[in-house]
Amino acid sequence: MESKFGERIRTLRESQNLYLRQVAPLLEMDTAQLSKIEKGLRQLKKEQIPILAKVLKADQKELETLWLADQLMQLVKDEPTADEALKTVSKNIKNRK
């Protein structure tokens, strides 16, 4: 649980008065799956972000960032060295651009 991405897309969906039942088919899944995604129990496929962004009239880049942040969070939560590791990665990434 505790998924920023999930929380965000739920907020977006609700603010537009859409039901899971309405959105799920557009992503070719059932309501159960989408429900789990919103609660962070499952991951949305990366390729589906653009579709969702469109459906929810959201900024695609924002959703991509939140999605990626969730993936990272899963990895670092409960890791004592999380902070150091994140710094290391940030550095390496810059050198590589």
Which of the 8 DSSP states describes residue 43? P
45 binds, among its own copies, DNA, none (CB under 5 to 8 A by kind): DNA
CA atoms within 13 A on the CB side of 21: 2
By the rule CB under 8 A, 66 interacts with its own copies: yes
Q: Backbone phi, then psi, for 41, in 5-degree steps? A: -90, -15
Among 17, 47, 57, 92, binds its own copies (CB under 8 A): 92
Q: Which two tokens stand for residue 29?
A: 């899944």
Smaller CB separation from DNA, 16 or 60: 16
Residues that bind DNA (CB under 7 A): 14, 19-21, 28-33, 35-36, 38-39, 41-43, 45
